[in-house]
């Protein structure tokens, strides 16, 4: 092939030397050795030379054409083997014709079939080499096979087009920029999400959209050394939109080197605002559930402790009272017994607060206008605050009524006002007490103690202060018994509020931030009518005697003994039972003579409720008085429909027990 190349090169040179030099438009002759070297060099770059006459028709093809498209130079000169793609043929013919007639050079990229039947992309650069005597131009062409280059460029364009289409169709937020933060591309989703155009993004500083609290972390990540191709995790951060909304964004990036050697960073981000909000709601619900379970557990514990304390206080209070009756007026022991009874009554008041916290405190329900209730106790509320405190009332008129215990509602207001007063620096500030009505479409998501709250009409009591406010951690604990941020041993103030609200089927809402004061809002369900509560009796104080038989069923021996002692003093015959089964057995044998049963509500094995059903099964007219350390309201809810005769709250005074028994014995037969 080298010898053939040399011979052809010589022939080519000979042709060139025969060109007349008188024509100034003709090129200078080529030295044969130089032409040979040029043809050989072109062959190494998939390039071959062709010459065409003025027809135009190929009259020469360099040997390298065979390496490029598979046809020999002789086959090319004959012209029968050359097939141009139909889409390119017109352009090639027009260019060659214009060159032959006018000497106008041309450059085209056309498709040509190779000997194997595949299309090759060929770049043809042609210009006039000399002019014949008749004025027509003959030409020389460089033909270069650029198929691989075209395919590579086409692949790159296809890849870029796919990248563009995916970027524009997807919801991903795609940006491309330089390591210094300058952007070179943003996807349409970025513009749509943040409301800024690409030109506006270019004009604003890189960190304009970022939340100030998140910038240090993002800057530290960006300043780290990241290898090419290494994934960069920016995590979650906050960014602001054009209209001021705050979005949560999650981003990952990668560094790569462009064809020009520049380093670019492509970042793919997602708007995860809804996901973050859902996670936050989930955490809040979980925290509320945990708080509810915690308060419920504390409530059960407080109720159990209060019940046991009431059992202990019952004989202390009762025996002290009986001792005072037995002692002469001048006995020095009377003063000691008065102190014992006073201490027992104070302890009973404490257990009542514990029952209130547990939502099991005694309730004396009545129809109340909340505004009137607060207004009537205005002076008492003023005594609960410092002289530097301004107490302002904004009480709505004509409120719907609520079914509530007036004393407990007053305790709620006093505790909230006292708590607000303690939050004021040195007692100086303002406390606003407001009332109003609201229609709830659903239970507020952040309402506390709302397990029994229902949608509908509600009346609210609001106590707002201008004090120090509370952080989230404090808010989680303020209803814990004996918790305080002021001093040790504060007591059950807000804990009792929680129990009272539970007992009234209400809820509590809190708004507070450190340094911005606190608002407590207590919701009570509005009612149209007020249900009847169990009858309560006063203490007659008169001497009364009877000879009927009373059955006392209580698992606490001291309570049984006290009840027997009190009732025996007025002539009643007393039979006692240490548990429910024994009481049922006794009643089944002596039902005809037993006029009244004193039944403890909480006992092991069989509860008071179970025993009550068994007694009624024996005698549907059995007269049963329930005795409990829990509240009358709780007992009434369980037993009112069953025909409970009465209720006695532990601890009780002797006269309370006697009055209740007397009322039942003297009641007309039904």
Residues 246 and 297 in one domain: no
What is the strand order of the sheet 456-465 is part of? 389-394, 429-440, 456-465, 518-525, 507-512
Residues 566 and 455 in one domain: no
**pLDDT at residue number 429:** 87
Are 246 and 193 in contact by the 8 Å Cβ rule? The answer is no
Residues 505 and 458 in one domain: yes
CA distance 637 to 382: 36
Residue range 612-631, pLDDT digits in tens: 989 989 998 889 988 887 66
CA distance 660 to 547: 16
Residues 77 and 138 in one domain: yes
What's the number of CA atoms in the CB half-sphere (13 Å) around residue 482? 6
Q: How far is CA 196 from CA 179, 212, 215, 652, in A?
A: 21, 20, 20, 76
**pLDDT at residue number 646:** 83
Confidence grade of residue 357 (pLDDT, cut at 50, 70, 90): low
Residues 347 and 376 in one domain: no
The CATH number for 554's domain is: 3.40.50.2300
Residues 248 and 185 in one domain: yes
Residues 334 and 406 in one domain: no
> Which residue has tokens 């997602």?
270
In a domain, 157, yes or no: no
The whole-model pTM stands at 0.40
CA distance 534 to 649: 12
Could you list the residue range(s) of the whole structural domain that residue 60 is in? 2-151
- The residue-averaged pLDDT of 481-490 equals 52
In a domain, 474, yes or no: yes
Percent of the chain with pLDDT over 90: 11
Residues 628 and 604 in one domain: yes
Higher per-residue pLDDT: 224 or 587: 587
Residues 6 and 143 in one domain: yes
Residue 552, both tokens = 């006392």
Residue 630 burial by Cβ neighbours in a 10 Å radius (0-12, 13-18, 19+): buried
The CATH number for 341's domain is: 1.10.287.130
Confidence grade of residue 595 (pLDDT, cut at 50, 70, 90): very high
The CATH number for 247's domain is: 3.30.450.20
Residues 6 and 129 in one domain: yes
Task: Single out the residue in 238, 271, 304 at which a domain terminates.
Answer: 271
Total of domains in the chain: 5
Residues 606 and 514 in one domain: no
In a domain, 146, yes or no: yes
In a domain, 40, yes or no: yes
Residue range 117-133, pLDDT digits in tens: 888 899 898 888 777 77
- The residue-averaged pLDDT of 258-268 equals 79
In a domain, 534, yes or no: no
- Closest by CA position to 508, among listed 431, 458, 446, 456: 446
Peptide bond into 543 cis (omega under 30): no
In a domain, 117, yes or no: yes
- Closest by CA position to 268, among listed 175, 347, 156: 175
In a domain, 77, yes or no: yes
Mean pLDDT, the chain, whole residue set: 78
Task: Single out the residue in 218, 248, 271 at which a domain terminates.
Answer: 271
Peptide bond into 651 cis (omega under 30): yes
**pLDDT at residue number 171:** 63
Confidence grade of residue 26 (pLDDT, cut at 50, 70, 90): very low
Residues 370 and 409 in one domain: yes
Residue range 378-436, pLDDT digits in tens: 666 676 677 778 888 899 988 999 988 777 888 788 888 888 888 888 878 888 999 99
- The residue-averaged pLDDT of 485-503 equals 65
CA quadruple 204, 205, 209, 212: dihedral positive or negative? Answer: negative
Strands 389-394 and 429-440: parallel
- DSSP secondary-structure letter at 642? G
Residue 500, both tokens = 């009272």
Task: Single out the residue in 223, 239, 271 at which a domain terminates.
Answer: 271
In a domain, 539, yes or no: no
**pLDDT at residue number 538:** 40
The CATH number for 406's domain is: 3.30.565.10
């Amino acid at each position: 092939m080298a010898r053939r190349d040399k011979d052809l090169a010589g022939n080519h040179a000979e042709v060139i030397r025969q060109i007349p030099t008188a024509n100034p438009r003709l090129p200078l002759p080529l030295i044969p050795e130089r032409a040979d070297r040029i043809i050989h060099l072109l062959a190494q770059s998939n390039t071959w030379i062709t010459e065409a006459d003025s027809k135009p028709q190929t009259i020469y093809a360099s040997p390298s054409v065979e390496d490029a498209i598979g046809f020999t130079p002789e086959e090319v000169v004959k012209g029968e083997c050359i097939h141009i793609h139909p889409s390119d043929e017109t352009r090639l013919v027009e260019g060659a014709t214009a060159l032959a007639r006018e000497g106008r050079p041309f450059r085209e990229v056309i498709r040509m079939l190779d000997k194997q039947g595949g299309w090759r992309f060929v770049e043809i650069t042609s210009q006039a080499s000399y002019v014949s005597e008749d004025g027509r131009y003959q030409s020389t062409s460089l033909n270069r096979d650029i198929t691989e280059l075209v395919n590579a460029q086409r692949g790159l364009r296809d890849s870029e087009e796919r990248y563009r289409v995916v970027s524009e169709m997807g919801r991903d937020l795609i940006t491309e920029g330089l390591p210094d933060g300058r952007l070179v591309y943003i996807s349409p989703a970025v513009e749509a999400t943040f409301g800024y155009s690409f030109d506006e993004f270019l004009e604003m500083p890189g960190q304009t959209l970022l939340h100030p609290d998140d910038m240090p972390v993002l800057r530290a990540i960006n300043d780290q050394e990241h290898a090419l191709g290494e994934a960069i995790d920016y995590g979650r951060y906050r960014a602001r939109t054009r209209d001021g909304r705050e979005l949560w964004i999650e981003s990952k990036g990668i560094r790569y080197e462009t064809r020009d050697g520049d380093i670019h960073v492509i970042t793919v981000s997602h708007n995860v605002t809804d996901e973050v909000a859902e996670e936050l709601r989930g955490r809040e619900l979980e925290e509320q559930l945990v708080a509810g379970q915690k308060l419920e557990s504390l409530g059960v514990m407080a109720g159990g402790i209060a019940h046991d304390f009431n059992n202990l206080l019952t004989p202390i209070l009762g025996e002290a009272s009986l001792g005072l009756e037995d002692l002469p007026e001048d006995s020095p022991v009377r003063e000691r017994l008065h102190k014992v009874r006073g201490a027992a009554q104070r302890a009973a008041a404490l257990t009542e607060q514990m029952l209130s916290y547990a939502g099991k405190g005694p309730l004396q329900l009545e129809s109340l206008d909340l505004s009137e209730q607060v207004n009537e106790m205005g002076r008492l509320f003023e005594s609960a605050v410092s002289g530097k405190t301004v107490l302002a009332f904004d009480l709505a008129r004509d409120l719907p009524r609520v079914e509530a215990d007036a004393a407990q509602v007053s305790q709620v207001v006093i505790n909230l006002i006292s708590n607000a007063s303690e939050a004021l620096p040195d007692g100086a500030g303002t406390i606003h007490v407001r009332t109003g009505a609201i229609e709830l479409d659903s239970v507020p998501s952040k309402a506390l103690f709302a397990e029994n709250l229902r949608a509908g009409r509600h009346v609210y009591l609001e106590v707002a202060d201008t004090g120090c406010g509370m952080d989230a951690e404090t808010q989680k604990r303020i209803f814990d018994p004996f918790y305080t941020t002021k001093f040790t041993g504060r007591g059950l103030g807000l804990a009792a509020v929680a129990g009272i609200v539970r007992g009234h089927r209400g809820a509590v809402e809190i708004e507070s931030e450190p340094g911005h004061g606190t608002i407590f809002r207590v919701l009570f369900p509005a009612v149209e009518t007020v249900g009847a509560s169990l009858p309560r009796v006063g203490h007659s104080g008169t001497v009364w005697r009877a000879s009927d038989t009373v059955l006392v069923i209580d698992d606490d021996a001291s309570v049984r003994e006290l009840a027997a002692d009190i009732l025996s003093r007025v002539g009643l015959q007393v039979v006692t039972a240490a548990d429910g089964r024994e009481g049922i057995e006794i009643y089944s044998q002596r039902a005809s003579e037993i006029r009244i049963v004193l039944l403890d509500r909480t006992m092991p094995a069989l509860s008071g409720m179970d025993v009550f059903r068994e007694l009624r099964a024996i005698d549907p007219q059995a007269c049963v008085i329930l005795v409990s350390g829990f509240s009358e309201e709780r007992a009434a809810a369980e037993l009112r429909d069953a025909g409970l005769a009465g209720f006695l709250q532990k601890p009780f005074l002797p006269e309370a027990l006697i009055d209740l028994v007397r009322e039942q014995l003297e009641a007309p037969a039904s």
